């Protein structure tokens, strides 16, 4: 059986997912076969495995850091919020049902534990080491007796736990000392060290702080990791989008609508890598009208976000932008929003049986209980690019198109996907990851440049190479500031 180590944190967004990815890459560099694991993930960023199953996007990134394909055992339970009180429960890559938090806690959670254990055991049986990730905080005391993702998961693997705190948000002593102190003794014993993350400034000024933390918690501080600026890797939480609002105009300005229920916002990171492109997330009427390209992203509740667009005036901004001939792109739920009618006769997403969309593309979408999760290859039928692209689909609805299609899917039953308007300025697709395709992305950007009177650029960023370089940069940064030898000793790897 393989060894396990676990990264837990004092709160959400303290850097657990990224540090897990860093450890995955470092241990791979050390010559071990490595896999990530998160028993239960609540996220709207998801990914499709090669066998057509759905997992959290963070585990897909971590698998990439390990140099392996993602698989469903890495994230056996995925919760995708559909509203304030409910979520779609995805078990071993397939949707089970929509449940409220109470329904999930009271009626299903006991069933999840053997599923989690089987997935974890499977990975431990095939890899030298499994790097596990927790969620939120392990000491949410009112929820702790039903928590299957933090200490309960660590106990399943008898994994030593690294506890991470975020000094950038303040309160590092209270958060780390409080977390360790609130753990019962048997769980406190699993914590083998502390990590202070996102430090800014002179590290030498925190020497006393390290000693204070060690004296308070009786746990060693295994690293103080400086803030790593401009790291271009997937973030799991939409709170990270607040960092994307750049104000300096560029040759090409791309606005992504910051929908309340935005999903798979990682789709657009490749665009931001390119020279002369400013990509930002916004809910501003004026910024939408000033952008060269407006993207409507995926959403976990299409109708609810349609209501949001109308209530905020963003729907009007999109209609004005369309009349002005600006480029508008819809991905997945954003594609559905661009259509004429959105029908939900079985109440798959909402109690509303029908809604009128933005009317910018000739499509009608009907939600069905069966979820499409598949990787795909397609030929572009868009005017700026006629080559092949790859991506993946994750959607509950199916759309009937009465206009021109955007892509031709290449599979056993060749079919069409997406739609483009007659002017060629508005298009949508169900394909996630479309902008990961280098030639497609460059062609899109150059078509916008030429429309603005700029010269086209030669080939830009090779995105896969860029991600590999970023993972290596992350691993190098963490190596410098984390006691990797000690961690491998604690894990039994050395």
What is the side-by-side strand order in the sheet with 327-331? 277-282, 252-257, 293-296, 327-331, 426-429, 419-420
How many CA atoms lie less than 13 Å away from 386 in the CB half-sphere?
A: 1
Distance of alpha carbon 260 from alpha carbon 304, whole angstroms: 9
Greatest Cα pair distance, the chain, in angstroms, is: 69
Catalytic residue among 24, 419, 432, 481: 432
419 is a catalytic site residue: no
Alpha helices in 234-373 (DSSP H): 269-272, 285-290, 302-312, 314-323, 333-337
Among residues 437, 464, 486, the alpha carbon closest in space to that of 67 is found at 464
One-character DSSP codes across 120-133 = HHHHHHH-SEEEEE
Query: What does the radius of gyration of the chain's CA atoms come to, in whole angstroms?
Result: 23
Distance of alpha carbon 231 from alpha carbon 87, whole angstroms: 30
Among residues 394, 72, 77, the alpha carbon closest in space to that of 264 is found at 394
How many CA atoms lie less than 13 Å away from 109 in the CB half-sphere?
A: 16
DSSP for residue 457: P
Distance of alpha carbon 191 from alpha carbon 161, whole angstroms: 5
Sign of CA dihedral 260, 266, 267, 271: positive
Catalytic residue among 332, 376, 395, 481: 332
332 is a catalytic site residue: yes
Q: What does the block give as tokens for 467?
A: 């991600």
The pairing of strands 431-432 and 388-401 is antiparallel
Q: How many CB atoms lie within 10 A of CB 276?
A: 14
Judge whether 42 and 135 are in contact, CB under 8 Å. Answer: yes
One-character DSSP codes across 155-168 = HHHT--EEEEEEGG
Phi, psi for residue 38 in degrees, rounded to 5: -140, 115
- Report the run of H or E that residue 449 belongs to, with start and end: helix 438-451
Provide the b/e sequence for 232-252 (b: ≥16 CB within 10 Å).
Answer: bbbbbebeebeebeeeeeebb
Catalytic residues: 332, 432
């Amino acid at each position: 059986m393989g060894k396990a180590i676990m990264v837990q944190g004092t709160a959400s967004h303290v850097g657990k997912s990224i540090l897990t990815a860093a450890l995955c890459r470092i241990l791979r560099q050390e010559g071990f076969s490595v896999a990530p694991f998160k028993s239960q993930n609540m996220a709207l960023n998801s990914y499709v495995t090669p066998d057509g199953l759905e997992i959290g996007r963070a585990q897909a990134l971590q698998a990439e850091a390990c140099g392996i394909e993602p698989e469903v055992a890495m994230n056996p339970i995925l919760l995708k919020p559909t509203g304030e009180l409910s979520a779609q429960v995805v078990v071993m890559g397939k949707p089970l049902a929509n449940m409220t938090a109470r329904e999930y806690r009271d009626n299903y959670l006991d069933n999840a534990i053997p599923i989690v254990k089987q997935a974890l055991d499977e990975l431990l049986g095939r890899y030298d080491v499994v790097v596990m990730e927790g969620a939120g905080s392990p000491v949410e005391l009112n929820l702790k007796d039903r928590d299957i993702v933090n200490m309960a998961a660590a106990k399943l693997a008898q994994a030593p736990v690294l506890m991470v705190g975020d000094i950038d948000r303040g309160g590092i002593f209270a958060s780390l000392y409080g977390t360790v102190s609130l753990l019962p003794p048997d769980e406190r014993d699993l914590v083998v060290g502390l990590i202070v993350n996102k430090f800014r400034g002179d590290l030498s000024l925190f020497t006393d702080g390290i000693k204070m933390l060690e004296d308070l918690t009786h746990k060693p501080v295994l690293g103080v990791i400086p803030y790593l600026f401009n790291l271009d890797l997937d973030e799991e939480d939409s709170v990270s989008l607040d960092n994307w609002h750049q104000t300096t105009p560029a040759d090409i300005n791309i606005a992504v609508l910051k929908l309340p229920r935005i999903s798979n916002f990682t789709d657009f990171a490749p665009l931001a890598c390119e020279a002369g492109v400013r990509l930002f997330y916004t809910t501003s009427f004026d910024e939408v009208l000033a952008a060269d390209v407006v993207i409507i992203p995926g959403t976990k509740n299409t109708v609810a976000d349609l209501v949001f667009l109308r209530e905020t005036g963003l729907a009007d901004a999109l209609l004005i932008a369309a009349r002005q001939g600006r480029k508008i792109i819809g991905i997945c739920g954003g594609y559905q929003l661009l259509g004429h009618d959105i029908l939900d006769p079985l109440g798959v997403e909402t109690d509303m049986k029908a809604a009128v969309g933005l009317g910018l593309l000739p499509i009608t979408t009907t939600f069905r209980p069966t979820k499409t999760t598949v990787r795909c290859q397609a030929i572009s039928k868009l005017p700026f690019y006629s080559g092949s692209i790859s991506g993946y689909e994750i959607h509950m609805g199916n759309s009937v198109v009465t206009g021109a299609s955007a892509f031709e899917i290449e599979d056993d039953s060749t079919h069409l996907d997406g739609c483009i308007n007659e002017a060629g300025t508005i298009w949508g697709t169900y394909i996630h990851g479309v902008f990961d395709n280098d030639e497609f992305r460059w062609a899109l950007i150059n078509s916008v440049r030429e429309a603005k009177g700029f010269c086209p650029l030669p080939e830009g960023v090779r995105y896969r190479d860029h991600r590999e370089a970023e993972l290596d940069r992350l691993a190098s940064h963490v190596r410098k500031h984390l006691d990797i030898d000690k961690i491998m000793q604690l894990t039994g790897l050395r």
